[in-house]
Each structure stands twice: as structure tokens, then as C-alpha cells.
Chain A
């Protein structure tokens, strides 16, 4: 496809073999993702063979009604949501790590998770019941909570005068997170009924999610990912430091707000759909950087694919380990992700990037 000019002049910035190698890897990751999704559709209380799955997908009419419901109404939307949420969180994590030049930044770093938690807790303790687009009030409140928290963190960080420094943004996010968590605890103790429900939701799960969740959420994930991808080169420039980025004519403040908005959109929708799922948005970017380096055009794609694969398998594990009881998937990602993260860290001799 690109062999003409690429072969004529050896390209220093992106040599032809480099590009081909990345395409190979991307295709491989895509295939692994599809296989993982197929596994996710087969495993469960009723196990399907790959052959049954194949026939069921192409001619659902031949399926017996129970199987059709299990496959089409339960497992397929759930698997697609794992893909969307995993990819969205991984892309958001990638962007935040580049923006903060901090390998420990995750999609919730500027307060999205605690804002969402407060929103959800308010709904459950106050018994509000206004939904949106086929969703209950809980996801809507969680989403709004996440966006408000991040906006507040931005405003607080900028109120110090001039444009927000990266450090003050991190501090504002952390301080705000602590305040919001305190509010959540207070609400739960004060109205002492539904804390189990809140807790369960906070731990993250795909249980009982339907097509409504898929159709409502995918456009947001798509907008978030495409916007981040468009900001890939500015993100590259920002990893060289703000002075360098600004000297190249990059409107640093606008880019920063754009990245935060796009990444928070994905994080907020993810929390709204599935609760707070940790570690995917932290691990996937690391793995992707190990494999593909830090050029964000490739990194965002690879990271999203890896995040989707990880979360699909985490969800398979969540409904298999203690079947028929389901473990919240957030417990699984944290329980497995933590040691895995430490393992990478050791292998890399303590270096994070």
C-alpha cells in the first residue's frame, strides 16, 4: 500500500519495516480480541461449543429460545460492553499518563471515580428515579458526578492564578477525591439502608447489562477515542516537556483541556455503565508502551485493543471462578492486576516507563 515512496526513501521517523511490524501486531491483537470475545460468548452457566456459536451467530433462528436469549440478550451485550469499557479506559489511561508524564496516572486520576461514587450514592440514598435513554438513574448520576468532579478539579487547579500546572491539577484531583469520598461515607452512614447496593456497584460489574447500555454508551466511547487519536501528535510533543511543546507552537492549555475532556468522557461513561473498574486503564498502557514505544498514534490503538482483551478475560473470570455466583469484575482486575503490575515493575528493574 505504502511501498512506493516508503521504499524509495528510507524514512527515519517511521521506517517501512517499523510500520509493517506494527500493522502485524495490530492485526494479531485484533484477532486475539475476536477470539477472546468468542470465548466470552461460549463460557458460562450454559457452555456452547465454538461450532454452536458459529451457527448461532449466522442463523440465530435455528437456535432454541433459551440459548438465543443467553447468547443474544445476555452474553453479547455484556461482551461488547467489556470491549468498549476496556478499550475506553485503556485509551483514557494512555492519554492521562502522557499528559501528567506520570506512569501511575489512571483514567480516574483527576477525580472521576469519586465524583461518580458520590453521584451514585446520592441516587441510591435519596431514592431518586429519573433515568435517561433507557438507563436507570444510577448511571446518569454517576456520569454527571464524574464530569462535575473533574470540572471542579480543573477550576480549583486554575484558581491559583494563571493556567493550571500539572502538579496542582494532580493535587486538586486528589484533595477533591478525599472530600467526595468523605461525603459518600457520610451519606451511607446517615441513611443506613442501601450501602451494600452502593458497594456492589462501586466494585464494578457487567452483570445484568443489556443492549440499552451498549447503544447508549458506544457513541461516547467512539467520540472519546477519535478525539484522543487526533491529539496523538500533541501528546507526543507534551511527553518532551511543556516548554518544548509550547515552543513548537502547541496551544498547551487548550490541548490539556481537550485531552482531559476526551479522557474523562470515556472514564465517566465507563463508570456509569459498569462501576469503577481499576487497573485496566493502568496496565494496558504500560503493556502497550513496552511493545510499541511511546508514539501515540500507535500507542492509543494498541492500548485500547489490549485493554479490551484484558477486560473481556477479566469478565469471563468474574463469572466463572465462583460460578454460579458472580464476583464483581473490579475485584478481579485489582486482585490480578496488582501482582501483575508489580511483576512488570520488577522485570523492568523498577523503572516505570
Chain B
């Protein structure tokens, strides 16, 4: 298990010394996509925030390239590790999209120095990749929920990290951009060799993009494995309840999880 890009060992995370999830041992290689799934409140975001150095672990540690992220300055970690949070800004200030995405360069450039033309290149590339170049001069406060999501993703991309932590990246995205997002996650891993950890509540999106799945429930990792290993009725039902159906995708052969009407309901 050693030699991973991002590793945890017996990690326990939570708020104010009250663990939400514990005993997490994970190792992530470059080019790998790990999906965190689990019911609401199972600690997906808590774990992601702990991996991203936003939340100090209660026990255990998170290692990046073999060194604890807490032994390094936050900005140094931020150069390798980008996080796109789930909660978008509430009272959006009239920052332009270009200004918001450019903040992704702050870990590299610092908080004072002007951005270089290399920085502007990364910003431009990130905006193009997320399809928000056309919005560059708009202010973030005037965007739709889906557009804000893409701006946040572009900001994380502009950080040019080696690891991306995405908290519910598919929320607010319509079908078209969900497909784009899945493609983006694949290409970040396959072509750019990034390690990606993402939380997903929509289980239909898991198999098409993840190499590995971690199922969180009851304050621990209940199952870790390939989508085919984890997305099985006997693994999911104890966690999500019996009202689900696992089908096989007719074309790809991937497991496809769908909700089922409770027994005794209409139809």
C-alpha cells in the first residue's frame, strides 16, 4: 500500500473531537479516480475536507508523497492538491469569472505578486476546458447554479494540481454537463495523470467514471473496491435499504443502480 500519491492510515475525522468517520485507510495512485458514496450524513464531505487539509484529523494522518500534509505549509499543499467545494458562495460578490478562476493561481504566485503570463495561460486553459471562457467578463453573482459549479471546477483546474478533490461536482449540472463532467474526470485521470477523489450521491454516475468506489456508512468504510464489487444489491441494501435495483447497463455492462418503488406502493 505504500508509495501512493495520497495515503491515509487509520484516519479518524470529524468536528470538535467528535468523529464522524474513523478507521479510514486509503491509498490513491496517480491516474486513479476514487468515488466516495454513502447516504446523507455518512461523512463523505468530512473525509474529503480532511484529505484536503481543511479539517485536522482527530487521529491518524494524511500523507502526500509520503509526508504528512500537516507538516507542510498550506500553500505548498495547495499547489499539489485542489478542492472544489460543494457549497457555492451564498452572497456572491461581483467578482468576474476570470478573477475568480485566476485565484487558483494564488498558491503558486502568493497573495501579493501579480500573475505572470504563465498564470494567465493556465487560467485561460482552465476556463476553456470547463466551457466558461465566454463568461469571463460576467460577474459570478449573475450566473446560474450550473455555471457557478463549472467556474469552481475551472478554478480548481487553474491550480494545476496533481490531486483533485471534488465535492458533489455533478450537483446542479444538467445532463449535457454531467456527461462533460464525467468525460473531464476521465481525461484528467487518463491523460493528465491526476488522482481524483469525488463524492457522488447519484449512484448512476459512479460506474462510468470511477476506478474504485468507497462506500461510507455507520462511521466507517463499509466497502472499498471496483464499481462491480461494490455496486451489488447485497452490499448496498444494508446501507440504503431494500428499495433499490441494480441492473446491468445493456451496452457497457456496468452496474446501474436505480431506486425502486417501496413494496405495497402503487403499481
CB interface residues, A 220-237, toward B, < 8 Å? 230-231, 233-234, 236-237
Q: Given A241-B89, A247-B54, A249-B107, verify A13-B98 contact (CB < 8 Å).
A: yes
B106 x A250 contact (CB < 8 A): yes
Q: Quick one: which of A98, A102, A293, A294 has the most chain B CB within 10 A?
A: A294
B92 x A249 contact (CB < 8 A): no
Assembled-state Cα–Cα distance A41/B48 (Å): 61
Asked whether any CB of chain A lies closer than 8 Å to the CB of B95, the reply is yes
B103 x A233 contact (CB < 8 A): yes
A247 x B78 contact (CB < 8 A): yes
Which residues of B lie under 8 Å from residue A241 when comparing CB positions? 85, 87-90
A248 x B136 contact (CB < 8 A): no
Asked whether any CB of chain B lies closer than 8 Å to the CB of A240, the reply is yes
> Can you name 29 A-B residue pairings with CB atoms under 8 Å?
A5-B117, A9-B121, A12-B136, A13-B119, A101-B89, A101-B90, A233-B103, A236-B103, A239-B89, A240-B140, A240-B155, A241-B85, A243-B85, A244-B89, A244-B152, A247-B53, A247-B83, A248-B78, A248-B103, A249-B73, A249-B75, A249-B79, A249-B106, A293-B139, A294-B94, A294-B95, A294-B99, A353-B91, A353-B141
Which residues of A lie under 8 Å from residue B133 when comparing CB positions? 12
Asked whether any CB of chain B lies closer than 8 Å to the CB of A103, the reply is yes
Q: In the complex, which residue of chain B has the Cβ closest to the Cβ of A240?
A: B89
Per-residue interface assignment for chain B, residues 124 to 138, with 1 indicating a CB less than 8 Å from any chain A CB and 0 otherwise: 100100000100100
Q: In the complex, which residue of chain B has the Cβ closest to the Cβ of A289?
A: B94
Which residues of B lie under 8 Å from residue A101 when comparing CB positions? 89-91, 93
Asked whether any CB of chain B lies closer than 8 Å to the CB of A182, the reply is no
Assembled-state Cα–Cα distance A158/B140 (Å): 31
Which residues of A lie under 8 Å from residue B100 when comparing CB positions? 240
B94, B102, B107, B112: the one within 8 Å of A353 (CB)? B94
Q: In the complex, which residue of chain B has the Cβ closest to the Cβ of A238?
A: B93
B94 x A233 contact (CB < 8 A): no
Assembled-state Cα–Cα distance A173/B111 (Å): 29
Assembled-state Cα–Cα distance A353/B98 (Å): 18
Which residues of A lie under 8 Å from residue B141 when comparing CB positions? 353
Interface residues on A, range: 35 or more
Which residues of A lie under 8 Å from residue B79 when comparing CB positions? 249
Which residues of A lie under 8 Å from residue B63 when comparing CB positions? none
Smallest CB–CB gap between A67 and chain B, Å? 47
Asked whether any CB of chain A lies closer than 8 Å to the CB of B202, the reply is no
Chain A residues with CB under 8 Å of chain B are 5, 9, 11-14, 98, 101-103, 161-162, 230-231, 233-234, 236-237, 239-241, 243-244, 246-251, 289, 293-295, 352-353
Extra pairs beyond A101-B90, A248-B103, A294-B94 (13, CB < 8 Å): A236-B99, A237-B106, A240-B140, A243-B54, A244-B103, A244-B155, A246-B54, A248-B78, A249-B78, A249-B79, A249-B107, A289-B94, A295-B95
Asked whether any CB of chain A lies closer than 8 Å to the CB of B169, the reply is no
Which residues of A lie under 8 Å from residue B78 when comparing CB positions? 247-249
A249, A251, A294: the one within 8 Å of B93 (CB)? A294
Q: In the complex, which residue of chain B has the Cβ closest to the Cβ of A162?
A: B16
Q: Given A234-B111, A236-B99, verify A13-B123 contact (CB < 8 Å).
A: yes
Assembled-state Cα–Cα distance A9/B99 (Å): 17
Q: In the complex, which residue of chain B has the Cβ closest to the Cβ of A292?
A: B94
